[in-house]
A and B are shown apart, each in its own frame.
Chain A
Amino acid sequence: MENLSYMMAPLFSSKLLIVLFFGTLFGLILGVLPGLGPTTGGALILPFTMTLDPLSAIVLLTAIYCAGTYGGAITAILINTPGTPAAAATCLDGYPLAQKGEAGRALGMATVSSTIGGIFSVIILVFFAPLLAKLAYEFGQPEYFALAIFGLTMLASIGEGSPVKNLIAAAFGILISTVGKDFMTSIDRFTYGINELSEGISFIPVVVGLFAISEMLTQSTMLDQVFKRVALKAVKLPSLKDYKLTWKTILRSSGIGSFIGVLPAEGGTVASLIGYSEAKRWSKTPEEFGKGSIEGIAGAEAANNAATGGAMVPTLALGIPGSATTAVILTGLIIHGVRPGPELFREQPEFLYGIFGSMLIANILFFIFGFFGAKLFARITLVPNKILWPMIFALSVCGTYSLSQSITDVWIMLFFGVVGFFMRRYGFSVVPVIIGLILGELVEGTLRQSLVIFDGNWLMFLTRPIALTFFSLAIIALLFPLFKKKTKIIKLKKR
């Protein structure tokens, strides 16, 4: 009951409501603009959160996360370009339906299913995160190490793209985290005599570089690309017939999205693809998929927004991000002196339930904004790249510089911008780098501390049941892509 009152608190706080209003608005704009998104936006806005108290700061970031994930659907439906990677599956049916003159219906379904998916996942978050946090009391250093390893292997297993390349990218991310003074012995590693590197490489320059700057370079290779925008009169609420057709799909995808979100992988992107394919598998009219199926839109959108709440579960309960954007939120928590984990649930329930309540409100707010303002938000895509990206560059440079007032951070940002561009060009996802970087310290720290506990005996890991379970799951996660490939080959041979 007390927790419920904490959840309701944002409703009665004018400050939090204003933060939610602007966070949702900003998130929608970021989601609509192809190439940007909640991860880049969150990283860019992070310096500004320093002027806010911790709760308002995290509420702002989570509002951006929820609204940004939904915003991608607007561009996916109207210009056949996903505003965020999580909206890629929405293009498949959203755009064909819009081309048939039913853009309003498509956007209406996307808005409703995103809201339901988002609210469903917050409910999961409210019930599941405290349970996971309680379980985390049983975790010692070896268990955290095994959990982090499991999280990283999940990137390979269900992450987008090549599993081996995802593992390389994750290892690269962890390697970045080793730059600077070793936290146990203060010995310099990979500093090459550069004093600024002794402190290590901060998270924000790497995120802004890998997402914003590399995207700017990608945009520079597509200057002659012209978007064809479908006209939109107004967003329509789905009809009773549409509801009857899609309610099962929305609920299924909400469940799938929440579950995928909890796993430390790629959050919304993977969730929407699985949500979409499951919607097709269970549909009575699978042949309609790809031609403008309303079920396809519902399946993808409910799943990607449901992943937002799901991804917050391990972030808050264990301090292990469920997606790239929650990695930014985790950084926000750390910057504001909040340590995620079981202690947070015991010591600051008002803070946590305030976040949960705010996420619920953010989902309702983006429903209202999306419903009444989608036409206006779609116009944002008309801002030409030649104007937009130099402005984003100025924001990126100042935002990166502002965190520690270090010009070296700006160089690091540009360096990772170039690295990120070539990674994408050659089929490496940049998301595992981010997850690897944020988990790097945890992986190395818990490994070394475990070895101290075990007196250097590696086999002692096998004597810890929880750690052993996570290691077994990690092995299964690593073998899963091979199994998937084998079954695919067998199926093809049968055909």
Chain B
Amino acid sequence: MNNVLKKKRANKSSLPFFLKSSFKVSFIIILISLILLITTFTFDAVPPILNRGIQPATFPKALLVLIIFLTSVVFYLSIKKPWKKESKLPKSFFITLIAFVLFLVIAKTLDFFLAIAVFSALVSYYWGEKRIIYLLIVSILFPIIVFTFFEIFLGLRFPPGIITNIYYN
């Protein structure tokens, strides 16, 4: 019975519009576009005597208006479509996102290499790899190979940090 109700609910097109994912997505796109559109009014303008053609802000303005218009069309077209229940994002997705943030913080404050090692170990472990040897390969050995390769072949110098400073003396 419960399943039948759920199915009925999933196919219902008369749900409040603000519950539909198409509305939420359209709303976010339009909101961001509006903010960016307002920003374009702060761009410097070229003095009329030097201005041939269009002002630097005109082209981005036109693009943003186009995006807002097309997004409204997407939303309008989606109104009549049956509502699909959105699948929830699993915990592993959020863990990976947190790992991204952790990578950013460590790379910015401590060390670039360390950030990659921590990220790789964390993601690999959370995605199901529990064997220490494989975790070490993924988080230590592979980044060392990549770093060495980039340094030797491209002459790349990685940003300073607690580990890279030791390496570079």
Binding site for B on A (CB under 8 A): 47-48, 50-51, 162, 164-165, 167-168, 171-172, 174-175, 178, 182, 184-185, 187-190, 216-217, 220-221, 223, 384-387, 389-391, 393-395, 397-398, 401-402, 405, 407, 410-411, 414, 417-418, 426, 444, 447-449, 451-452, 455-456
Contacts and interface: CB of A to CB of B under 8 A. Distances in A.
B11 interface: no
A413 to B, nearest CB: 10
Given A175-B67, A190-B36, A401-B158, A184 B119 contact: no
16 contacts: A164-B73, A164-B77, A171-B63, A187-B43, A220-B90, A220-B92, A386-B128, A387-B129, A391-B120, A393-B123, A401-B156, A402-B154, A407-B108, A411-B104, A451-B52, A456-B52
Contact of A165 (B43, B74, B142): B74
Nearest to A216: B96
Nearest to B142: A391
Interface string B34-68: 00100110011010001011101101100110110
A174 B63 contact: yes
A185 B46 contact: yes
A217 B90 CA distance: 11
A30 B146 CA distance: 18
Interface centre among B53, B108, B112 (most CB of A within 10 A): B53
Interface in B97-154: 97, 100, 103-104, 107-108, 112, 116, 119-121, 123-124, 127-129, 134, 137-139, 142-143, 146-147, 150, 153-154
A208 to B, nearest CB: 14
B158 to A, nearest CB: 7
A275 to B, nearest CB: 29
Contacts of B96: 216-217, 220
Given A390-B120, A393-B119, 4 more contacts: A164-B70, A220-B96, A387-B134, A452-B52
A190 B61 CA distance: 12
A51 B152 CA distance: 11
Contacts of B52: 451-452, 455-456
Given A162-B74, A387-B124, A407 B56 contact: no
Contact of A395 (B103, B107, B137, B146): B146
Contacts of B54: 447-448, 451, 456
A99 to B, nearest CB: 28
B164 to A, nearest CB: 12
Contacts of B120: 390-391, 393-394
A190 B39 contact: yes
Nearest to B100: A414
Contacts of B154: 47-48, 50-51, 402
B52 to A, nearest CB: 5
B5 interface: no
B104 A414 contact: yes
Contacts of A178: 59-60, 63
B1 interface: no
A188 B44 contact: yes
A449 B54 CA distance: 9
Interface centre among B63, B74, B100 (most CB of A within 10 A): B63
Interface centre among B43, B90, B96, B147 (most CB of A within 10 A): B96
Nearest to B45: A187
A390 B119 contact: yes
Given A51-B153, A220-B92, A414-B104, A394 B60 contact: no
Given A387-B138, A390-B123, A448-B54, A48 B71 contact: no
Contacts of A220: 90, 92-93, 95-96, 123, 127
Given A48-B153, A221-B90, A223-B92, A384 B129 contact: yes
Contacts of B15: none
A418 B63 contact: no
Contact of B67 (A168, A417, A447, A449): A168
Contacts of B163: none
A477 to B, nearest CB: 15
Contacts of A384: 128-129
B25 interface: yes
A448 B116 contact: no
B128 A187 contact: no
A447 B62 CA distance: 12
Contacts of B138: 387, 390-391
B70 A385 contact: no
Contact of A184 (B21, B56, B70, B156): B56
B4 interface: no
B46 A386 contact: no
B159 interface: yes
Nearest to B119: A393
Given A185-B46, A220-B127, A175 B64 contact: yes
Nearest to B21: A426
Interface centre among A51, A220, A444, A451 (most CB of B within 10 A): A220
Contacts of A387: 124, 129, 134, 137-138
Contacts of A394: 116, 120, 142-143, 146
B29 interface: yes
B89 interface: yes
Nearest to B53: A451
Contacts of A398: 116, 146-147, 150, 156
